[in-house]
Structure 1
Amino acid sequence: MALKSTIYKAELQIADMDRHYYADHALTIARHPSETDERMMVRIAAFALFAGERLEFCKGLSDTDEPDLWAKDLTGAIETWIEVGQPDERRIAKASGRSNEVIVIAYGGRASDIWWQGVRSKVERLRNVTVWSLGENVAAALGALAERTMRLQCTIQDGAAWIGNASTEPVAVEWSVFKAPEKV
């Protein structure tokens, strides 16, 4: 018998001063049985960093044909495909062909550096792909915020981001850019 996903609820307030995006989101997140708190919270952070009117969580680990998050236009075409973790280069290339923009958010410190060296040569030629690596302790700090019911705030300003709740210090969501999309 397969284990079922655990449902988490999050009220997320976003103040993105860089993009002038200010919104409250009521999120329902299905945490796959094999997913850690850290990975789930990195998905929530990805949502906060790239939030928009049409961004939504997908089946992710439960379905190999869907990313962790995506935004589709009104015709159903995929505008933005967001992967969390360390997908292989074939998955990234497939996503690149299916969407206008692909964003990969790797985490895990040194493991992300090793992963990037393994996929770099194939991924660098993909024009519409962005690859970020979260700072070494960011995923663990975000994971510490995980609760079945959460109230989170995200502030983004001058290329920096913080996510927190009312009872703890905000987590500085730091990243380095492995690859930025090519300008056309």
Structure 2
Amino acid sequence: MAEKATIYKANIQLADMDRQVYGDYSLTIALHPSETHERMLVRILAFCYCAAENLVFTRGLSSVDEPDLWRKHDDGRILEWIEVGQPSVERLKKASSQAESVKVFAYGRGLDIWWKNNISAIASLPKVQVQCFGTGELQAACAGVEKTMNLSVSITENMVYLSTAEGNTYTLGLREMRDL
């Protein structure tokens, strides 16, 4: 019998000073059995960085035809296709053909190798923007992951300040991959 996803709840007070986006969000996140807390946290942060009307989590790892998040227009067009991790160039080409904009929030071991092996192919895809989180910062912030989370997220100058209800604060930087 296959393992089921574990459900997490995140109540987020968001203040994105870079985009002038402010709001309260109640997210329900399904943690796939093969997914790490680190990946789930990147999905939550990607949501915060892209917060907008009609932005939703998809079936993610459970579907090869969908990104981790997307924002669709009311007419069904995909405005933003948002990937987490180190997607293949073929996947990004497919996303570019279906969406107006493609964002990748990269992280994890082997990130520099993935980037080195794919930089020219990704650079040829004008709709694709790749950003990354630092591994140490992300791993530290995973200490704040709980089944129910009350988070305050402030974003300014591509830095995220993540505070938990327990009083823990984590700082994470988001960089363009060209900065590696």
Q: TM-score by structure 2 length?
A: 0.94
Shift of 1:141: 2.0
Amino acid at match of 2:152: Q
2:56 aligns with 56
SS in 2 for 1:140: helix
Contact conserved, 2:9 with 2:149, CA < 8 A, in 1? yes
Q: Deviations over 1:133-152 (max 9, x none)?
A: 21121221232111111101
2:74 corresponds to 1:83: no
Q: Where in structure 2 are there 5+ consecutive unaligned residues? A: none
Alignment of 1:170-181 (within 5 A): 170-178=169-177
CA 1:148–1:64: 2 relative to 1, 3 Å: same
Segment drifting more, 86-95 vs 150-159: 150-159
Shift of 1:179: 5.1
Alignment of 1:1-184 (within 5 A): 1-108=1-108, 111-178=110-177
Q: Deviations over 1:63-108 (max 9, x none)?
A: 0001111100110111001111011110011111110110111112
Amino acid at match of 2:171: A
Q: TM-score by structure 1 length?
A: 0.92
Contact conserved, 1:83 with 1:105, CA < 8 A, in 2? yes
Q: Where in structure 1 are there 5+ consecutive unaligned residues? A: none
Amino acid at match of 1:124: A
Segment drifting more, 132-141 vs 166-175: 166-175
Rounded to whole Å, the distance in 1 between the matches of 2:178 and 2:103 is: 10
Amino acid at match of 2:3: L
Contact conserved, 1:12 with 1:25, CA < 8 A, in 2? yes
Rounded to whole Å, the distance in 1 between the matches of 2:115 and 2:10 is: 31
Shift of 1:156: 1.1
Shift of 1:164: 1.9
Shift of 1:160: 2.1
Contact conserved, 1:129 with 1:179, CA < 8 A, in 2? no
Rounded to whole Å, the distance in 1 between the matches of 2:9 and 2:32 is: 14
Shift of 1:166: 2.4
Shift of 1:170: 2.0
Rounded to whole Å, the distance in 1 between the matches of 2:56 and 2:174 is: 22
Contact conserved, 2:54 with 2:71, CA < 8 A, in 1? yes
Rounded to whole Å, the distance in 1 between the matches of 2:21 and 2:174 is: 20
Q: Deviations over 1:116-145 (max 9, x none)?
A: 111112111001100012112122123211
Contact conserved, 2:144 with 2:168, CA < 8 A, in 1? no
